[in-house]
C-alpha cells in the first residue's frame, strides 16, 4: 500500500489493504483533535440558503478576534489546502526555500508550478537569496518552533527584495502566543490558517489567509463568490468565539499527549518531536512497525522520506493506548 504515503486519514484504504485486521480500527494517522468542537443545532439557513455576507463577516470577525489579527487582513477559504495550491499562481516566485521535513504538499505545489525548490533545515538563512521562504509553525511532523524575532527579520529582508515569508499555521491554535497573525497584512508576509486541526472538524473545510491586500484580492478572485459553506461559517463563528472551550481543549490535549508519551516510551519507541496533537517517533524499521500496527487495526502515519519515522496522533478513547501498547509489544 502506497496511498497512505501521501496523507493520513485513508481508513477505507486501510481496511481494504489489511482485511484481517480487527475492528474497530483506531485512526491515529492524522494530527486532528479527536474531540471535535460541538457543532449541533445548526440553523436551517446555514444548509438551505446560500451563504450571506453577514455570515462571512461574523466568522471572519470571530476568527480575527481569536487570532489577535485585524479582520480586514483575513480572507476565509474552504480549508488551507486549496490556498497552498493556488498561491504559486499568484505570487510566482522563481526560487524558494522550504523547511524540511515538513508538510509535503508545500514542496509539491511549488515544484508543480515550476519553481526551484530548496529543501533545508535552515530556511531563514536563505532570506537574502530566495524569492520566498515556506515553513510550518509549529512544524509538521516534528513540532519545530522558530524564534519570532528571527521570523520578523527574515520577513523584513524578504519584503525589501519583493519576496515573501509564507507561514503555515495549521497547528498554531495549540500555542496562540507563537502565531504571527497579529502581523497579518504586513509586507512580504502570507499566513495560512486551518480550522479543522485544533477544532477537530477537518470535514468542515474552513481556513484563512492573512496577506497584503493585493494578494488577498487575487486569491478572492480565484476562490469565487461563495468560497465557504454556510455551515462552515456558522460553526467557525461559534468555535472561534468560544474561548472557554479553546482553553479547556488545550489543557486536555496536553494531558493526553503526555499520556501517549508514556505508552510510546514503554513500547521502546524513541520520541523525537511533535505537538499536542501528534507525536513523531523514531524506530529501526518504521514501515515494519506500520504494518504490525495495521494488522492490529491501528493506523499511524508513515513517510516516503524516512524509513525510521512515524507520526502518531492522539487516541480518542481510554482503551486505545493499551491496544497500541499491546500491538507494539508483539
Q: Based on the structure, what is the number of domains in the chain?
A: 2
More confident position, 89 or 320: 89
Q: How confident is the model at residue 58 (pLDDT cuts 50, 70, 90)?
A: very high
**Can the peptide bond before residue 24 be classed as cis, meaning omega within 30 degrees of 0?**
yes
Q: Identify whether residues 194 and 259 lie together within a single domain.
A: no
234: Cβ contacts below 8 Å, ≥ 6 apart = 42, 43, 46, 55, 59
Strands 270-275 and 278-282: antiparallel
Enumerate the H helices of 44-165 as residue ranges.
44-48, 53-67, 81-91, 104-112, 148-160
223 close to 81: Cβ distance less than 8 angstroms = no
Q: Identify whether residues 211 and 67 lie together within a single domain.
A: yes
Q: What is the b/e burial string over 202-223, where b = at least 16 CB atoms within 10 angstroms of the residue's CB?
A: bebbbbbbbbbeebbebbeeeb
The residues pairing with 275 across neighbouring beta strands, listed in sequence order, are: 278
What integer pLDDT is reported at residue 324 of this predicted model? 86
Last residue of a domain, one of 180, 207, 241: 241
What is the torsion angle, in degrees rounded to the nearest 10, for the CA atoms of residue 296, residue 299, residue 300 and residue 301? 140
What integer pLDDT is reported at residue 131 of this predicted model? 98
CATH number of the domain that 110 lies in?
Answer: 3.40.640.10
Q: Identify whether residues 111 and 195 lie together within a single domain.
A: yes
Percent of the chain predicted with pLDDT > 90: 90
Q: Is the pLDDT of residue 4 over 80?
A: no
The residues pairing with 97 across neighbouring beta strands, listed in sequence order, are: 118, 133
Distance (Å, rounded) from C-alpha 313 to C-alpha 197? 11
Distance (Å, rounded) from C-alpha 320 to C-alpha 26? 7
Q: Identify whether residues 218 and 249 lie together within a single domain.
A: no
Average pLDDT over residues 234-261: 97
Q: Is the pLDDT of residue 1 over 60?
A: no
151: Cβ contacts below 8 Å, ≥ 6 apart = 124, 137, 165, 167, 180
Structural domain span for residue 255: 3-36+245-328
Between helix 286-295 and helix 319-328 the angle, nearest 10°, is 120
Q: For 267-323, how does the pLDDT look when each residue is reduced to its tens digit (9 = 90+)?
A: 889 999 999 999 999 999 999 999 999 999 999 999 999 999 999 999 988 888 888
Average pLDDT over residues 69-93: 97
Q: How far apart are the first and last CA of the chain?
A: 22
CATH number of the domain that 32 lies in?
Answer: 3.90.1150.10
Amino acid at each position: 500500500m502506497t496511498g497512505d504515503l501521501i496523507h493520513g486519514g485513508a481508513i477505507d484504504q486501510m481496511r481494504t489493504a489489511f482485511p484481517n485486521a480487527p475492528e474497530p480500527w483506531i485512526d491515529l494517522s492524522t494530527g486532528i483533535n479527536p474531540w471535535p468542537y460541538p457543532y449541533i443545532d445548526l440553523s436551517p439557513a446555514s444548509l438551505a440558503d446560500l451563504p450571506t455576507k453577514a455570515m462571512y463577516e461574523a466568522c471572519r470577525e470571530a476568527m480575527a478576534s481569536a487570532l489577535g489579527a485585524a479582520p480586514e487582513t483575513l480572507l476565509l477559504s474552504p480549508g488551507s489546502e486549496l490556498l497552498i495550491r493556488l498561491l504559486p499562481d499568484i505570487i510566482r516566485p522563481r526560487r524558494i526555500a522550504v523547511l524540511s521535513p515538513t508538510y509535503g504538499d508545500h514542496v509539491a505545489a511549488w515544484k508543480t508550478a515550476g519553481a526551484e525548490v530548496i529543501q533545508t533545515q535552515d530556511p531563514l538563512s536563505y532570506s537574502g537569496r530566495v524569492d520566498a521562504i515556506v515553513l510550518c509553525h509549529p512544524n509538521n511532523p516534528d513540532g519545530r518552533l522558530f524564534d519570532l524575532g528571527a521570523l520578523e527579520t527574515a520577513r523584513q529582508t524578504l519584503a525589501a527584495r519583493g519576496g515573501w515569508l509564507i507561514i503555515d499555521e495549521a497547528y498554531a491554535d495549540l500555542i496562540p502566543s507563537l502565531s504571527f497573525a497579529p502581523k497579518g497584512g504586513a509586507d512580504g508576509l502570507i499566513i495560512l490558517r486551518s480550522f479543522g486541526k485544533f477544532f477537530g472538524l477537518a470535514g468542515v473545510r474552513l481556513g484563512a489567509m492573512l496577506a497584503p491586500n493585493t494578494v488577498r484580492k487575487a486569491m478572492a478572485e480565484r476562490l469565487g463568490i461563495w468560497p465557504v459553506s454556510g455551515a462552515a461559517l456558522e460553526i467557525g463563528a461559534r468555535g472561534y468565539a468560544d474561548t472557554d472551550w479553546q482553553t479547556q481543549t488545550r489543557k486536555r490535549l496536553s494531558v493526553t499527549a503526555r499520556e501517549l508519551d508514556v505508552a510510546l516510551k514503554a513500547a521502546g519507541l524513541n520520541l523525537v518531536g511533535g505537538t499536542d496533537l501528534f507525536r513523531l517517533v523514531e524506530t529501526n524499521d518504521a514501515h515494519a512497525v506500520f504494518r504490525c500496527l495495521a494488522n492490529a487495526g491501528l493506523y499511524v502515519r508513515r513517510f516516503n522520506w524516512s524509513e525510521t519515522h512515524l507520526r502518531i496522533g492522539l487516541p480518542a478513547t481510554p482503551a486505545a493506548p493499551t491496544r497500541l501498547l499491546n500491538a507494539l509489544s508483539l
